[in-house]
Every structure is written in C-alpha cells, then in structure tokens.
A and B are shown apart, each in its own frame.
Chain A
Amino acid sequence: MTTVTNRPAPAGPTAPKKALIERLSIITGLLLGVVGALLCWYLARTFLPVNTDGSYIKTRMDQEVFIAMIGWFVGFMTGMGALIGPFRWLLGKDLTHDENMFYAGKDQGAKRYFRYTTDHKVVGIQYLVITMVVFFVGGVLAMLIRTDLGHKGGNWLQPQTYNTVVGMHGITMVVGAIIMVTGPFGNFIMPIMIGARDMAFPRLNALSFWLVVAAVPPLLSALWLGGIPTGWSAYNPLENQAPPGMDGFIMAICIFAISTMVAGANITATAIKMRAKGMTWNRTPIFIYGVVASVALALPVFPVFFLSQVLSGLDRATGSTFFDVRGGGSPWLYENLFWIMGHPEVYVILIPSLAALMEMAPVFTRRPLFSFNLAIMGIAGISGLSVLVWAHHLYVSGWAPLLNGPFMLTTELISIPTGMLFLVLIGTLWRGRVWITLPTAAIYAVLLNFTIGGITGIYLSDVSADAALHGSLFVTAHFHYTLMGSGLTAAIGAMVYWFPKMTGRMFDKKLGWTAFWITQIGFQITFMGMFMVGLAGQPRRVGAISDFFHQGNVIATAGAYIIMAGMLVLLHGVVVSWVWGVKAPQNPWFAKSLEWSVANPVPLENFAVLPVVTEDVYGYGKAQS
C-alpha cells in the first residue's frame, strides 16, 4: 500500500526515471497479490481467536482462506494500479493529462495489454484472449467428464474429482459465455459502432477486465483446496459441507459479479450518452440494443448472485445460518437467490449473441434488417420476462407448489419474443442474395440449434414433464443447445466477422470452414446422444452410470472428441490468422455501420472528427442505390 502514496514524477520523454504509474503491470499485480495473500494468511493464522465451538470444525480454516483471498484481491488490484486514481482523488487531485494518455495506451506498445490500460480497444482484445483461455480450461474439463462417461459404467475419475470437474466446467463455461460477446465486441466494437472515441468511463472499463483476471486465481485455487464438489449451482447445505475450495469459488463469484456490474453500468452509460450526432434510436444498430439489454439485465440480477455467495460464505466462515434449517434458515432461500440470477443469466448470454447475428444478417444478404421494431420488441420482451421465470428451476423442489402454474405461464410466454427474433433472422435471409461466408454459416447453424434448444425448453417448462426430466441429462443437452449451439456458435461467427477490424487481418477461410463443420457435426452427435440418455433416465452430474446407458454415452463421448478436434482447428485458425493472416482491407464485408469507416489498425481515438449519422445503418437493397 505504501508504494501508492509516492507521487509519480511527470511522465514524458525527458523524464530520467520511470514514474510509478509506468512501473505497474500484471507482474507487480501478481507480486503484490501473492504478498498480500501470504501476509493476510499469516495474520489470520496468528491472531484469529481459537475456535472453541466444536460443532463447526471447518470454520476457522474457512476464515483463514477468505482473509488470504481478500489479501490477494486487494494486493492484486493495488499492484495493477487500480487504486492510483481513487487515491489521487483522496488527495484532492486527479491524474495529469500525460498520465491519462499513458493509461489510454498512447505509446501503442505491446506492453499496454498487460497493464491497467483504459483504451477500449485494448480492453476488447484482453477480453477476447481471456475468453478463449477460459473456454480452453472449460473445454479440457468437459473432455474429462465425457471421457469418464465414455468408459463402461463410468468411474474413470474418483468421485470427488469428478464432482469438482463438473462444477469447475460449469462455472468456467458460464463465466466465459457471459463475457464472450459483451467483453470483446461490446468493448472493442460497440464504441466505434456508435461513433464514440472511448467508453463513458474508461477507467471503469479497465477495472472490469482486471477484476475478471483477479477472480481467476481464487477459482483455480479451489482445485488445491479440496475442490468444489457441488456443481456450479453450489446448493446449500452441500455448499456448507464442501472443503475450503468452496471459499475460492465464493470469492471468485463475488469478484466476477462486481466486474459484471461495473461493466454493465459502463456499457449502458456509453450506449445511451455517447452515440454520434444523428444516431437516433431508430438508426442505432441492433447489436447495440442487444449488448445494452444484456448488461442492463445483468445489472439488477448479479447483485443477487453476489449476495447469495456472501451469505453462503458467512454460513461457512462464521457459522451463521442463512441457509441452514437447524438455525432457522432455508435451503430454498438459496435456491431462489441463485436462480433469480441464474435464469436471466442465460439471456445475458444469448441476447447479445443473437443481436450479433441480426447485425450480420443484412450485411450478408444485402437487404435491410427485416422488421427492426419486432427485433427490439423481441429483445425487450425476453429481457422483461426473463426476470419472472426463475422458479421453473424449483418445480420439483417442493417450494411453493402453488406457484408452479404461474411460473409455467411466464416461462412459456418467453417463446413469443424469442419467436420474434427468429422471424427477424429468417425474414432477413428470405429473398436476399445470400453471401456464403463463415458468419452466414453461423446464422444458419444457430437457427437450427436454437430451434432444437427452444423446443426442448418447452417440454422442460411443463410442470409434469419436468417431474420426469428435471435433473436428467435431457436438461444438460437442452442448455448446451441454447448456450453452446446457439450462443457460442453466434459468438464465433461474430468473432470472424469483426476479426478484420480487431486484429487487422482476415480470418483464415479454410481453417474456419473446417472448424465450423467439424464442431457442428460433433455438436449434434454429442448432444443428440445426451438427449437420448436423458430421456432414458440418466441423471446429471453422475460420474458412474449403469451399463444401460453405455451406448448413448459412447455416442456422446465420440461426438465430444469430434468437437474437441474442431475447436483445436479453430484455435489454430485464430493463432494463424492473427499472426500470419492476410492483411484486411478497411471494410472487407462492405458493411455500412460505423466501425468499418475507421482505418486498420484503428487509430488511438478512433475518429479524428466525430462522425454525424445521416442515414439508416441497414440501407441495403436496390431501391436505395
């Protein structure tokens, strides 16, 4: 902490020695984080009172782990330089112009990607890379799960390991999916798309990204602290029973929730206040609506997630009984809190993905978006209804059976706005001249996968069918069709679409198409197999299964290996294209939105002169020309 108080010397070409602000990077962050964790852990071990109450044996260990992780968090954020600004304010000053320019990455060096850089383009690239890293980890865990179930009877992993692998796979994929569109494209593309020079709050932007990074070590530490054998939903009282790894999970969720809230406030403010002159709401691209709906939906629900984990952590570390029925608490309270976040969260993932598809469809059919208003109604309808459906996860929990009917109604009503988005996409493709590219392929794949994911969702929304299907692999297959088959496929399509602007290079077509076909075919095999064993009665989250399910699981596992091959080709494609790809022209898709009107690489402040929007962004079609 004391290092921060040193007033940095003014940065400039003539400054003989580096100012403090220039010395801070991920290295100092990690260093101070580890020091902070060790120091706090030592203090906690030495000074915490000895636990005399024998009934909560683990409590003291949990206290130590929590305190150490708070030490990590504060140390890391300090080392990154997140506190320099606030500290200046405390002294009644602010950053100088030079320092702000340094923060914005004026030097354009490679080092700015490893610093607390406020330039939205740097943050976008950082998000893109960390999304891929998170998906890579989650993918490896998925392969462990499928390999276990591919063995006859399963049981290839130890039960504790298996349960932890399932939980880690769940949480890493959920985190990855939440940031996969609004992170990279919401940060890099959105400000340029609306004709702004940066986000509304550039420092908050850097803060939201580095908070995601700060959440990673606590989450991974769970692997060494006994694991998180609870699944990502971490229901109580199982969560209370779990080893100290659970504390890492709780800490990671809390940090990640703060990051999401910060990013949500920032992106919403940017889209509302910083659109170019002339960009009325009617001329605002649909992708902006999608991103704003997503983060604005996250704003009210992620605090609930944060709260649920804080209460869980208190139960674990202090012996409070929010969710312990013996002390007057209720496990149903936890389930409610969790799903009040948990169901809107899937739309936080899906809405921006679908909005990206709707953004691309007019470009590749050379005609206007079909029914712009219906698209907005669809997005608004999904966002509004999604906060009213959470208890369909509790149909069979026994909590308030009288509410099952109303929640069935709200859940099934969501199919109406979702159908609107389908109509917008199909209507745009209809009678257009379809330009066959990778993003187009993503649109078609998503229409197929989301149809299947959506219809199976209607079975699950029915209370009596849910009594047969709840907690089975049918549910798992259903949400993989929506989140992976639709959400991730759309995000990959969006990545290929905006790759030329973000990296300055074209995405390798051959590798892209190979990856597309392999992953899509593998995907259908895996999750069709999973639908079958789910219908036949295989529960979720089991590492050992009866031989009855062997055949279906072998199919699903074979499919999973095909997906893995496809994803490795995709990763290879990303690396090859990024490093050696063909240099991209300024506007390779001949699109009309503003992000294609800036040069490659995008200049530091995007626009020398702020643009004025005078026409519709979807003005394609012959009558226009």
Chain B
Amino acid sequence: MSELETAKRLAWWKRADAKKAVVLWAIFTLVIGYVASTIQTRVMGSAASENMSSTINMIKIFTWAASPVAGLVAALTITTLLGKRHFGDNPPPEAEHEIRNSPKVAATWVVVSTLLCLFAVIYGMVLVQKDENNLRSANSLNIDVTGQQWAWSFNYVDNGGARSADLYLPVDKHVVFHVTSTDVMHSFWIVQMGIKVDANPGYITETATTPNKIGVYDLRCAELCGLYHAYMQKQVHVVSQADYDAWVQSQGGKA
C-alpha cells in the first residue's frame, strides 16, 4: 500500500494539522469576538436613542457572527505556517499530494457562507422595517431642517415656527426631521442617535428618532459640502419636556 493511500485512510479530524487548526479556531473565535465587540461598543460610546442602541447591538451581533469566520481564516492560515516551511532560493519538494478539489469542503463552505449572508440580510431587513415604521408613527414632533453652506437652521413647525441654529429636542418624544438644502448636498447626522440623511437641494428627505437621554450631543455634516465642511457642526440639546416648552416660548414659539 502506498504512502498516499495510508494518508488518505486517516480520517481528516485525526490529522495533526487539523487538530491544531480546530484548537486555534476556538481560541481565535473567542479572542476576536471578545476584543472586537468590546472595543467597538466602548468606542461607539453610550447611545442617546433607540436607533443607536440597536445599531450598537447589531454591530456586536454581527461581530460575534463574523468572528468564527475570521477565526477560521486565521486558524487555517496560521496552521499552514506552523507546518512544513521552506526557505531558500530553490523550491521545496513537491507536495505529497495533488488534491485539486474537495467537493465536500467547497459545498460546506458555500452553504455556510450563504446561511451567514442570509442571516445578515434578514436581520438587516427587520431593522429597516423598524426604521420605516418609525417614520410613519403618529403623534410625533416635526422639525424642518435646512442645510446651507455652512450652517444648519431648524424650524419647529409644530411649535408655531420657532427657529434656531442649535437643535433642541424634548426627551422621550418621537421626532421626525424633514431635511433639505438650499445650495449643495449636506448630510444631517446626529452622531449619538445613529441617524443620518442627506440634505439635497430641491428635495425633502426624512429621518426619525426618539432621543431617550438628556444631554448635549453632536450634529455633524457628513457629506463634503465645500470650504468650511469641517466646521459645519452643531450641538444637539436634549432637554426635559418642561425645559423644552420654556425654551420654545423664549424663541417666540408656542409650546
């Protein structure tokens, strides 16, 4: 019996390199999943709306779903490096086998990656639907947002047309933003609330959220809009309903 056939008879999971790879896979999956998701959630900070917390959550879940994939790639490649390496100017001896394909491995790989992909798509679709419903919810506060080079202006249409340059929002109240621009494209982005929509000249686009934490947050323009794009930032003040009413009245609107 030739050497080749002996090697073939050995079940793949009994091979030394396969064992090594499986151990490394487990370790890498845990390390990558833990380190990446911890850093991501820490860097993204605390969420100021349901949108942002569900986005952070989603990124955490995607990271844990992706870490076995990343871990597998890392484990397999590192195992190949742990095996027979060859240095020098002359080539190594030919490999002991000439495996050209393994339909089983290929099929498993394709099926698993398809399932992971479908998981991501379905999860994403559910969230999109939620955002979509969010936009249609009744009893919400409407605010018109206008971008121009290089400032934002806000029109509180439900509060008798009070206007401001910084954004004020009552806490725990659903808000729909109607966004447009007077000149070039801008992008209306409230960082800690995880919402963003472009401000296009001539069109009105919409996005919605419910701020759920009192505090001061960042509004940034996320679309290059010319000379002072970098400076097109404002503060978003989320205040209690009472404070909001008082502020609106001080701006000449009605609560």
Contact = CB atoms under 8 A, between A and B. Distances in A.
A414 to B, nearest CB: 9
B13 interface: no
A455 interface: yes
A464 B124 CA distance: 7
Nearest to A466: B196
A541 B187 CA distance: 13
B9 interface: no
A12 interface: no
Contacts of B225: 238
A470 B222 contact: yes
Contacts of A463: 124, 127-128, 131
Contacts of B97: 367, 431, 621-623
A621 B98 contact: yes
A397 to B, nearest CB: 5
Contacts of A464: 51, 54-55, 58, 124, 127-128, 130-131, 194
Interface residues of B, number: 95
B104 to A, nearest CB: 11
A325 B203 contact: yes
B74 to A, nearest CB: 7
B200 A398 contact: yes
A154 B230 CA distance: 10
Interface in B68-113: 69-70, 73-74, 76-77, 79-81, 83-87, 89-102, 105-106, 109-110, 113
Contacts of A401: 132
B223 interface: yes
A420 B200 contact: no
Nearest to B109: A423
Interface stretch (A268-276, A444-452, A602-610): A444-452
Interface in A428-445: 429-436, 444
B161 interface: no
A620 B94 contact: yes
Interface in A356-382: 365-374
Interface stretch (A303-311, A343-351, A529-537): A529-537
Contacts of B125: 405, 408
A217 interface: no
B197 A419 contact: no
A465 B98 contact: no
A459 interface: yes
A458 B227 contact: no
A625 interface: yes
Interface centre among A325, A404, A419, A532 (most CB of B within 10 A): A419
Interface stretch (B36-44, B140-148, B246-254): B36-44
B219 to A, nearest CB: 11
A451 B63 CA distance: 12
A401 B198 CA distance: 12
A422 B73 contact: yes
Interface stretch (B114-122, B163-171, B236-244): B114-122
A620 B98 contact: yes
B184 to A, nearest CB: 4
A609 B52 CA distance: 67
B221 interface: yes
A263 to B, nearest CB: 30
B195 A467 contact: yes
Nearest to B218: A537
Contacts of B54: 464
Contact of B96 (A160, A241, A472, A622): A622
Contacts of B94: 366-367, 620-622, 624-625
B224 A163 contact: yes
A625 B95 CA distance: 11
B34 interface: no
A56 B206 CA distance: 32
B182 to A, nearest CB: 11
A545 interface: yes
A44 interface: no
A592 to B, nearest CB: 11
A561 interface: no
Contacts of B231: 544
B110 to A, nearest CB: 7
Contacts of B4: 622-623
A371 B109 CA distance: 12
Interface stretch (A24-32, A199-207, A227-235, A312-320): A227-235
Interface centre among B114, B124, B185, B233 (most CB of A within 10 A): B124
Given A444-B81, A621-B98, A366 B228 contact: no
B24 interface: no
Contacts of A159: 227-230
B43 A535 contact: yes
Interface string B167-208: 000000000000100011101010110111110111101110
Contacts of B116: 415
B158 interface: no
Given A235-B223, A409-B121, A433-B92, A368 B98 contact: yes
Interface string A403-429: 011001100110110011011001101
Interface in A506-563: 532, 535-537, 539-546
Contact of B83 (A434, A452, A618): A434
Contacts of B30: none
27 contacts: A159-B228, A166-B224, A229-B226, A237-B184, A241-B183, A241-B226, A332-B200, A367-B94, A367-B98, A372-B100, A397-B205, A405-B128, A408-B121, A412-B120, A412-B121, A413-B117, A416-B110, A420-B106, A426-B80, A430-B17, A433-B95, A462-B127, A537-B218, A539-B221, A540-B222, A620-B94, A622-B94
Given A331-B200, A420-B110, A465-B62, 14 more contacts: A325-B201, A366-B92, A372-B100, A398-B203, A429-B76, A430-B17, A430-B76, A431-B99, A433-B92, A463-B124, A471-B187, A544-B231, A620-B95, A623-B98
A-B CB proximity, top 10 nearest: A621-B98, A398-B205, A325-B202, A471-B222, A367-B95, A542-B230, A537-B191, A468-B194, A419-B113, A544-B230
